Amino acid sequence: MENNKELLHSKIELILKEAEALGASQTQTTITLTNRALTRLANSIIDQNVVERHALVRVVVYFGQKSGSVEFEVFEDHEIKQAVEQAASLARISPENKDFKSLPTPKQYSSSFDKKSMICETTHNTTPEKRAEFAKLAIDTAHSVDSRVKAVAGYVQNTTKEKIVANSLGIDAYEIQTTSDAEFTVLAKDDKEETAGWATDARRDVNQLKVEEIARIAAEKAASGFGMKYLDPGEYEVILEPAATAGLTFFTGLIGFGARRYQEYMSFLRDRIGEQLFSENLSLWDNPLEQRLVGASLFDDEGVPHQRVDLIDNGVVKNLVYDTLTATIDGVESTGNHAKWWGPAEPIPRHIIVGEGTSSVDEMVSETKKGVLVTHFHYMNPVNPTEGVLTALTRDGAWYVENGEVKYPLHTIRFTDGVLRFFKEIDMIGRYPDFLALPPIGMVPAMKLPSFRFSGSSKE
């Protein structure tokens, strides 16, 4: 597959040379080329169909401990030179960051990482007609499951991303990646109720997307959602399907294990590293080098090599994730977790893997006396991040389980509970799911927890 590696190299050489000529003490630059195509479904038709092409140049210029950064959607040399000049102008008038010592220096990238496997030419060349074909397959499959299926919504997407990260200390990192993913929500309706089901899959090769399977699962969930009852708030056992577990582990990583939030007193794990805070059954790590992940990757947004970082080992809090600045503050090495979002960058685990168990969801149900089976959660947010308290609502299917049997579907219910409480005990852990996901979701199995606090419903 053709790539723009040489062109990108010429651009970063230009940037570094320009910054040096302007007197910069250090410079970091990232160029990202993105082609994204997304076909969106709603009401069992293609509702939106879009294609984007981006060229994003990011330059951070340092004069000692002063810095200025620009992020421009430009690609011509004269525009890039202007961007460097503006970054330098900002840096000259910037206050100092006394915590900044240096940009990262080059380190060896994983030699066993199979870079070629990250690219699929078929995915790159996916046409609108191909995505429409998938859309029709999902629509036809879902409607064939049950006559009460009313609407299929969701999307089919393919993305090609090339990224180069370089700095004036010699870091020079390049990777190209293709991904495709699909997600479907199926709505079903009779004369009394409307129900919903959901499923998703992601692959590097668009032809391996399990479109028919996930459309069928979403439709079957919707079809089995009729006869909903309300659940009184309180503590119940809970069976979390993989996507539900993944929502909880993502927020656990985000608000607990990032060094920036820890240093800013926002982490619920402040001063608790090394303690046994979670169930002995829980081991959780961040590993972007895991090649089974669709979003596997060699380096972070500073060009620092990715690595496996153990976060929880048999219930014991082991490590935070760092980027260069936060590592400097704590006197440790970056773990390769720098993530540039909107606003300040921060280190976060974006490829979380939970140690798998051996139980199936059916076995979890059979071991439940009074509990709730959850497909996934909607609109999760921290209520009190410094104490690890989260809230969210069930979505696209939740069922009441009693004495080892699924009894009836439930109307939407809200939980409000703390990570340190609900992950304190874990009864059972499942195997990795058949379907894959894009970052920030890694490989997360189903779980059964003995106690989970539901605080409200769509009735109260």
Partner 1 sequence: MRDLTDYALDTCRELGASYADIRIVTIKDEDISIKLGNISVMELRKEIGFGIRCLADGGLGFAGSYDPTKDEIHRVAELAVQIAKASGSTRQKPVELVDIKTETGSYSTPIKKDPFKVPTEQKVAELVEVDKGLREHNPEIIKFTKADYRGHMEDKIFSSTEGAYITQNIVFCGGGFSCMAISPGSPPQIRSYPGSFRGDFSTSGYEFFESKKLIENVEHIAEEAIALTKAKQCPTEKTTLLLDGHQLMLQIHESCGHPTELDRVLGTEAAFAGTSFMTVDLLNSLKYGSEHVTMTSDSTIPGGLGTFGFDDEGVKAKRIDLVKDGLFVGYQSSRETAALVGLAESSGAMRADSPQKLPLVRMVNINLEPSGWIRNDIIEDTKCGILMSTNKSWSIDDKRLNFQFGTEIAWEIVDGEVGQMFKNPTYTGITPEFWGSMDASSKDDWRIWGTPNCGKGQPPQVMYVGHGCGTARFHNVRVGIMEGK
- Judged by CB under 8 A, the residue of 290, 386, 408, 425 near partner 1 is 386
- From the CB of 291, what's the least distance to partner 1, in Å? 26
For residue 410, state whether it binds partner 1 (rule: CB under 8 A): no
Tell the smallest beta-carbon distance from residue 456 to partner 1 (Å): 5
With contacts defined by CB under 8 A, name the span among 9-17, 80-88, 113-121, 276-284 that binds partner 1.
80-88
Among 30, 68, 103, 249, which residue sits at the site for partner 1 (rule: CB under 8 A)?
A: 68
Binding pattern for the stretch 33-62 against partner 1, x by CB under 8 A and - elsewhere: ---x-xxxxxxxxxxxxxxxxxx-------
- Provide the pairing of β-strand 309-313 with 316-317: antiparallel
CA–CA distances in Å: residue 182 to residues 45, 78, 213, 438: 15, 39, 11, 10
Number of residues that bind partner 1 (CB under 8 A): 97
252 scored as a contact of partner 1 (CB under 8 A):
no
Binding partner 1 (rule: CB under 8 A), the pick from 265, 331, 341, 403 is 265
Beta bridge partners of 446: none
| Between 53 and 370, CB nearer to partner 1 | 53
Length of the chain: 460
Give CA–CA dist 37/160, Å, rounded.
9
Return the structure tokens found at 279: 């169930």
Question: DSSP letter at 111?
Answer: S
Q: Decide: is 264 part of the binding site for partner 1 (CB under 8 A).
A: yes
Distance of alpha carbon 446 from alpha carbon 460, whole angstroms: 28
d(C-alpha 376, C-alpha 448), whole Å = 14
Which residue is listed with tokens 């910069």? 24
- For the chain, the straight-line distance linking the first and the last C-alpha, in angstroms and rounded, comes to 56
In the set 101, 292, 370, 378, which binds partner 1 (CB under 8 A)? 378
Stretch that binds partner 1, among 20-28, 114-122, 184-192, 251-259 (CB under 8 A): 184-192
Residue 185 touching partner 1 (CB under 8 A): yes
The tokens describing 52, both together, are: 């984007």
What separation in angstroms does the CA of 174 have from each of 221, 224, 237? 42, 47, 47
**CB-nearer residue toward partner 1: 100 or 109:** 100
Site residues (CB under 8 A) for partner 1, limited to 102-131: 127-129, 131
The least distance separating partner 1 from the CB of residue 5, rounded to whole angstroms, comes to: 19
Span 282-341, contacts to partner 1 by CB under 8 A? none
Backbone angles phi, psi at 269, to 5 degrees: -100, 10
Segment interacting with partner 1, rule: CB under 8 A, options 12-20, 180-188, 297-305, 429-437: 180-188
91: contact with partner 1 by CB under 8 A = yes
Angle between helices 5-21 and 77-93 (to 10 degrees): 40
Beta pairing partners, 391: 381, 416
Q: What type of residue sits at position 76? A: E
CB of 45 or CB of 332, closer to partner 1: 45
Q: Which of 78, 98, 116, 192 binds partner 1 (CB under 8 A)?
A: 98
Scan residues 189-228 and list those touching partner 1 (CB under 8 A): 196, 198
Contact between residue 407 and residue 448 where contact means Cβ atoms under 8 Å apart:
no
